[in-house]
Structure 1
Amino acid sequence: MKQKKNKGYKKSHKIYALTVIVLGLAIILLALFLLFYVQRIEVEGNEYTDSQEIVDLVEEDPLSMNSLYLLYKYRFTDYDMPGSLDSMKVSLAAPWSVRVTVDEKKILAYVQNGEQNVYFDEEGLVVKMDSEVLEGVPCVEGLDVSGAELYKTLGNGDEALFRSILDVTCQVREFELSPDRIVCSGEDIQLWFGEICVLLGDDITADKIAQISPILAKLEGRRGTLHLEHFEEKGDAVSFSPDVLPE
């Protein structure tokens, strides 16, 4: 009888211990759920990508309510992000507050298409489409973007011309130039700096672009056309036609 009593006691003790463990785990999980329940998502690092678009994408995941899950997801797994971004990083401002830090693709230029401006990067990818004019971004004229779609590469009937546009916008940024306009005239490219037009022709080279800044410094306050379309190497003659501008 005594042995049976001891066995019953041990059995009830095990059940009690198991119950305590289960309840303890449940309390811990509930505490983690409540403590790390996402109440706020803040976005930083974006200049032209809409913050709400990023927040909506994060919240699409049904498990996004937990900040620890978001930390794991954006550090150790593959994830989707807007086409205008190169990267997204998630950190915790507080257990219940998530900070999303993004790195955007660099905008090279934009083309006006009706009431919208089509912004693209160095790969020709459309990263922004709206009526807003971003300060410091050159406008390209003469390029057909009627079929442009957000987060898709621009298509153009004249691939050589489009490649020249990409080349000149990349070179302009590299040499820290800020043209007001980039104009496609047939196969030729023009850069406009106020009332000075720089003719580059259809062959865009770094040597041509490198001549612009020092020459513009000497032409400050003047009006006319700078001819670089036939320039090939340092030492070649460069002419300036005062008070003459392409139509």
Structure 2
Amino acid sequence: MRKTNEKQHMILGIAVAVFLLTAILVLSVRIQTITVSGSSRYSAEQAKELLFSGRMGKNSVIAYLRDRLNPHKQIPFVEDYKIVFHGPFHAEVIIYDKSIVGYVSYMSSYMYFDREGIVVESSGRKLEGVPWITGMDLGRVVLYQPLPVADSRIFEEILNLTQQLSLYEILVDQIRFDAYNQPILTIGQMEVILGNMGNIDSKLSVLNDILTDQPQLREIRGTLELGDYSETNDRAGITFKKK
């Protein structure tokens, strides 16, 4: 009987030792390389800090279980993300940014909306490269609801304008609608008067050419007038006046 107990204790001791050794090995395996792609809002270092923070954040097993068993973190301006584990030492993070075309100011916050006109984010942070839209009559702005614009035609013009600006890669700080609901762009120190939305593609094409040839205009306080520009006469309707 004594030998049987000793044998059982030995087996139990070996099992405990194996368990402890396995636990030590598991907890000591850490992710060495993290690659990040897909986001224009967050740097690789910021993404790593958000998703692998804490003392055990880079532990391979814990990181894997967190990703598989827990809901994904809610990250501002991010629709979702995917973590692909390439073995115990390498993780790949793919971030899917929210589609944002502009923002409005409301109740001391910046309310960002997408191409469908849905308010997708509320933040105190200004995103670089996203235009601030002003001059519209707004109702009560609610997150995840359509932007309450009094005149739906203006919003259609905003979407068309922002898409064209994106096509020409023209970064705009502000799009302001005047009393006649005509857009005025602010680019750095310069204002650009576009007039009505007719012939807008040609106007933005000319604007792109001007900014490419004379990038210093962004730093000059002045007004570039394109409202009377005509395709039939490429010298008509283009003036620049310093303020």
The alignment's TM-score, normalised by the length of structure 1, stands at: 0.58
After superposition, the C-alpha distances for 1:47-86 in whole angstroms (9 at most, x for unaligned) are 479x79x85x989xxx989751322453798735335214
SS of the counterpart of 1:239? coil
C-alpha contact (below 8 Å) 1:122/1:166 kept by paired residues = yes
The one-letter code of the counterpart of 1:68 is: V
Per the alignment, do residues 70 and 218 of structure 1 end up closer, same or farther by CA in structure 2, a change over 3 Å counting?
closer
Per the alignment, do residues 90 and 242 of structure 1 end up closer, same or farther by CA in structure 2, a change over 3 Å counting?
closer
Q: Root-mean-square deviation (CA), in Å?
A: 5.1
Q: How does 1:175-190 map to 2 (within 5 A)?
A: 175-185=168-178, 186-190=180-184
Q: State how far apart, in whole Å, the 1-side matches of 2:24 and 2:95 are.
A: 30
SS of the counterpart of 1:213? helix
Q: How does 1:108-123 map to 2 (within 5 A)?
A: 108-123=101-116
C-alpha contact (below 8 Å) 2:194/2:225 kept by paired residues = yes
SS of the counterpart of 2:156? helix
- Aligned residue pairs, count: 220
Q: How does 1:124-163 map to 2 (within 5 A)?
A: 124=117, 125-130=119-124, 132-145=125-138, 147-150=140-143, 154-163=147-156
Aligned with 1:212 (options 187, 207, 223): 207
The alignment's TM-score, normalised by the length of structure 2, stands at: 0.59
SS of the counterpart of 2:238? strand
Q: State how far apart, in whole Å, the 1-side matches of 2:162 and 2:10 are.
A: 71
C-alpha contact (below 8 Å) 1:129/1:150 kept by paired residues = no
1:191 aligned residue: 185
Q: State how far apart, in whole Å, the 1-side matches of 2:29 and 2:15 are.
A: 21
| 1:239 corresponds to 2:237 | yes
Q: Which has the larger radius of gyration?
A: 1
Q: Unaligned 5+ residue runs, structure 1?
A: 38-42
Q: Unaligned 5+ residue runs, structure 2?
A: 31-35
Deviation (angstroms), 1:162: 1.5
Q: State how far apart, in whole Å, the 2-side matches of 1:204 and 1:148 are.
A: 31
